[in-house]
Homo-oligomer: A and B are copies of this chain.
Amino acid sequence: MTTTGATLPGAAGAAPIPHRSPGRPRDARCDQAIIQATLDMLAEGGIAGLSMEAVASRAGVGKATIYRRWSSKETLVVDALATLSGSDEVDAPDTGVLRDDLIAWVDSARRKSWNTQWGRILPRMLAEKDTHPEAMSLYWQRVIRPRRERVEEMLRRGMESGELREDLDVDFVADILLGPVTYRQLVRHARAVSPEQVVQVVDLVLEGIRRRP
């Protein structure tokens, strides 16, 4: 998962010729400690408030050990964010009943947005999307898009089953569902969306996209 292209142990599968490189191998615990320290500091002060010196110190690692793995602050941040996608599975069930599934999905987003790590890192990323566009782009690919694919899948099935209109822009519908939740979290920090309001939004959208009888 490193951007520098250095092969991590175990990543290559059953290579025909192992030919392990000589010398002391890299210590996997370093990778872990560095990533963790980076995520901690991102949540605390964003990319701007993140210094390689502090990451090294917090991870109990020399600066060179970081630069041996990542060529710059940006690539480190990008990789650190990438690790977030795996651990944060979309915990929305798949009941087959569209309304319930949508509600569950939006509510999952609502809960996630209040989770500390998610809730703090997103605004930081947004603020710095001009300064560090690659980081934001990777954050989208690795963290956000996987979640969205779930709801787009739901909507597409609804279209196929005839429950929804056939001319939907599923991408945009997902934005309408997610918009209010995200807007409140970001812009109006103190006024979170309630579970009841999640239902309101889903019903409102559903009414607009359901196939007309």
A binding-site residues for B, Cβ under 8 Å: 46-48, 120, 122-124, 126-132, 136, 140, 144, 169, 171-172, 175-176, 178-184, 186-189, 191, 193, 197, 200-201, 203-205, 207-209
How many monomers of this chain does the complex have? 4
Task: Determine the distance from Cα of A47 to Cα of B130 in the docked complex, in whole angstroms.
Answer: 8
A204 contacts B183, CB within 8 Å?
no
Interface of A is mostly: helix
Query: Does B130 contact A120, Cβ atoms closer than 8 Å?
Result: yes
CA distance A155 to B204 in the complex (A): 16
Q: When chains A and B are docked, how far (Å) is the Cα of A201 from the Cα of B184? A: 17
Q: Are A187 and B182 in contact (CB under 8 A)?
A: yes
Out of B126, B178, B189, B197, name the residue touching A172 (CB < 8 Å). B197
A171 vs B188: C-alpha distance when bound (angstroms): 11
CA A80 to CA B144, docked complex, whole Å:
32
- Nearest CB of B to A43, in Å: 10
Can you list 29 A-B contacts (CB < 8 A)?
A46-B127, A46-B130, A47-B130, A123-B127, A123-B128, A123-B129, A123-B130, A124-B127, A126-B127, A126-B187, A129-B189, A136-B189, A144-B187, A172-B193, A172-B197, A175-B184, A176-B179, A176-B201, A176-B204, A179-B179, A179-B183, A182-B183, A183-B183, A203-B208, A204-B204, A204-B205, A204-B207, A204-B208, A208-B208
Instruction: Kindly identify which residue among B48, B122, B140 contacts A131, using a CB–CB cutoff of 8 Å.
Output: B48
Residue among A120, A129, A186, A188 having the largest count of chain B Cβ atoms under 10 Å: A186
Cα distance A209–B204 in the bound complex, in angstroms? 8
The interface residues of chain B lying within 8 Å CB-to-CB of A191 are 171
CA distance A169 to B197 in the complex (A): 10
**A121–chain B nearest beta-carbon distance, Å:** 10
Q: Which residues of B contact A205 (CB under 8 A)?
A: 204
